Amino acid sequence: MRPALVVTWAVGAALCTTLFVGALHGDWLSPAQAAYAYGGTFAAITLGVLVWRRRPDSRTGPLLTAMVFAGILPDLDTVFYRSALAVTIGLAATELLIPLYGHVVLSYPTGRLGGRAERVLVALAYVYAAVYALPLLLFYSPAQPHDQRVFECLPCADPLTRVGWYDVTGLRDALDKVLFVFAVLFLGLLARKLIVSTRTQRRISLPLLAAGAFGAGEYIVQYSIFGTQVDSWHNETWFWIVTSANLAIPKNTSRSSQGQSACLGSLTTSSMMIFSISGANAAMAVPTIATLKAAIASRLCGFIQ
């Protein structure tokens, strides 16, 4: 395996372990939730690396791996709210999942966007992610989110990039409405992709398209009920829905890729088992990369060994 892939996999394992331990120590998640979120994410990162290794000429592997990372990087500013670096990284990646999610689904299986409408929507989604993050990085204070004179979280660190203070609540609400429009347009492109596909193409891509539709659909439901994105840290029902939606893309990418679907169930179960067992004693929940690799290598169908 190429060194870049090994490093990517190792960084993913370290990030998932760090967030798992931090979420338990800070009582942000229950052991079951933390094991599902970060064990499942570790399995998804591993899958992305496997796709990348098996199909180096396709962009699907790198995109899928980046999408999984983008799904958990925003957790840093919540779990490690006292760290200015963690807050900065988390805020920068707040909506990075959105364009990568669309990019992976709409470009599958080649990793290249075929139609003009797909290219325009994904490009606008990347702009959206940047526009959403920039005010947070420059003006948002987690300690004083709504009033510069009122501290709502005294120990919360400000991002390293902050240059001033501004209440960005109104801007975020407006951008959430834009995301609703993106979700609707995304569903439309998925429907068109399905309609114009041949029977063979439809059979290959249907699991992934269904997963993409589930992710967009759950956000539309969120917005319809709450008028904004739900806080899944404090809403257990939506935690399971949102986390499952994020993990559905790598899971169904494997189903759409021959030779990998038989490995994924065992891989996910093994990863969650490692994190669940570690969760019994959070103080010892720092498995090394070698330990993680040894524990799941026999289930990776020979790809990592």
**What pLDDT was estimated at residue 93?**
97
Give per-residue pLDDT as tens, 80-113.
Answer: 999 999 999 999 999 999 999 999 999 987 888 9
69 within a domain of the structure (yes/no) = no
Q: Are residues 229 and 284 in the same domain?
A: no
**Long-range own/partner contacts, residues 271-274 (CB < 8 A, 24 or more apart):** 271/39, 271/40, 271/42, 271/43, 271/46, 271/296, 272/35, 272/36, 272/39, 272/40, 272/43, 273/39, 274/39
Give per-residue pLDDT as tens, 38-48.
Answer: 999 999 999 99
Is 233 in contact with 239 (CB distance < 8 Å)?
yes
Q: Are residues 227 and 296 in the same domain?
A: no
What is the pTM assigned to this prediction? 0.84
Angle of helix 199-226 relative to helix 169-196, nearest 10 degrees, comes to: 160
156 within a domain of the structure (yes/no) = yes
63 within a domain of the structure (yes/no) = no
pLDDT of 55 above 60: yes
Alpha carbon distance 180, 261 (integer Å) = 32
Distances (CA, A) of 39 to 238, 273, 277: 18, 8, 11
**What pLDDT was estimated at residue 151?**
82
Report the run of H or E that residue 23 belongs to, with start and end: helix 3-25
Q: Are residues 35 and 113 in the same domain?
A: no
Boundary-marking domain end, from 182, 204, 235: 235
Residues spanned by the domain of 2? 1-57+258-305
Give per-residue pLDDT as tens, 141-155.
Answer: 999 988 777 888 889
246 within a domain of the structure (yes/no) = no
Q: Are residues 109 and 144 in the same domain?
A: yes
Q: Are residues 199 and 230 in the same domain?
A: yes
Q: Which two tokens stand for residue 24?
A: 């338990």
64 within a domain of the structure (yes/no) = no
| Rounded average pLDDT over 209-222 | 93
Q: How distant is the alpha carbon of residue 187 from its chain centre?
A: 19
State the CB neighbour count (10 A cutoff) for residue 297: 13
Instruction: Examine residue 109 and say whether the peptide bond preceding it is cis (omega within 30 degrees of 0).
Output: yes
Give per-residue pLDDT as tens, 113-168.
Answer: 988 999 999 999 999 999 999 999 999 999 998 877 788 888 999 999 999 999 99
When divided into structural domains, the chain yields a total of 2
Q: Are residues 147 and 227 in the same domain?
A: yes
pLDDT of 12 above 90: yes
Alpha carbon distance 19, 12 (integer Å) = 11
**What pLDDT was estimated at residue 256?**
57
Q: Are residues 288 and 156 in the same domain?
A: no
205 within a domain of the structure (yes/no) = yes
Q: Are residues 227 and 285 in the same domain?
A: no
Alpha carbon distance 114, 105 (integer Å) = 12
65 within a domain of the structure (yes/no) = no
Give per-residue pLDDT as tens, 244-282.
Answer: 999 999 888 765 554 444 444 445 444 554 554 544 444
Q: Are residues 89 and 231 in the same domain?
A: yes
Q: Are residues 104 and 179 in the same domain?
A: yes
Q: Are residues 20 and 138 in the same domain?
A: no
241 within a domain of the structure (yes/no) = no
Task: Please give the backbone phi and psi of residue 263, each rounded to the nearest 5 degrees, phi first.
Answer: -90, -30
pLDDT of 238 above 60: yes
pLDDT of 297 above 50: no
| Rounded average pLDDT over 61-75 | 95
Q: Which residue has the higher pLDDT, 53 or 204?
A: 53
Q: Are residues 172 and 23 in the same domain?
A: no
**What pLDDT was estimated at residue 203?**
83
CA angle, 46 as apex, 284 and 22 as ends, to 5°?
Answer: 30
Is 61 in contact with 52 (CB distance < 8 Å)?
yes
